[in-house]
Amino acid sequence: MNDKIRYYKGVNKVKIVTESVGYYIIEALEPFEDFIDGKKIKVKIGEQRIVESDTLYSEMTYPSPIQEHAYELKMEKKLKQFIDQKQKKK
């Protein structure tokens, strides 16, 4: 039975009901919230859903934290280079 227990998106405990090529039908073992097409949906215990195989994990894992300022630092560096180039042309 444990081989059929997975974690949806690495956080929410679900049971695999059936398997198909690239997709699983899962049953929620705990309530959670999911986003579908930008809408927040509450999933109840026992509710079944079709999900892609890459959203299920065998262990509970949390996604790595996003480096909040990495993009801003990259853009700031590009802006400084752009300003330096404009000043050199003048």
pLDDT in tens for each of the 90 residues of the chain?
456 899 998 889 999 999 988 899 999 999 999 988 889 999 999 999 999 988 888 888 776 666 667 778 888 889 999 999 989 887
Q: Does the reported pTM lie above 0.75? A: no
Residue 9 is encoded by which pair of tokens? 């998106």
Sequence-distant (6+) residues with CB within 8 A of 34 are: 8, 40, 41, 43, 49
Residue 53 is encoded by which pair of tokens? 């195989």
Amino acid at 69: H
Amino acid at 12: N
In whole angstroms, give the CA distance from residue 62 to residue 9: 8
What local confidence, expressed as pLDDT, does residue 35 receive? 86
What local confidence, expressed as pLDDT, does residue 68 receive? 65
Sequence-ordered strand ranges (E) for 38-85: 39-43, 48-52, 56-57
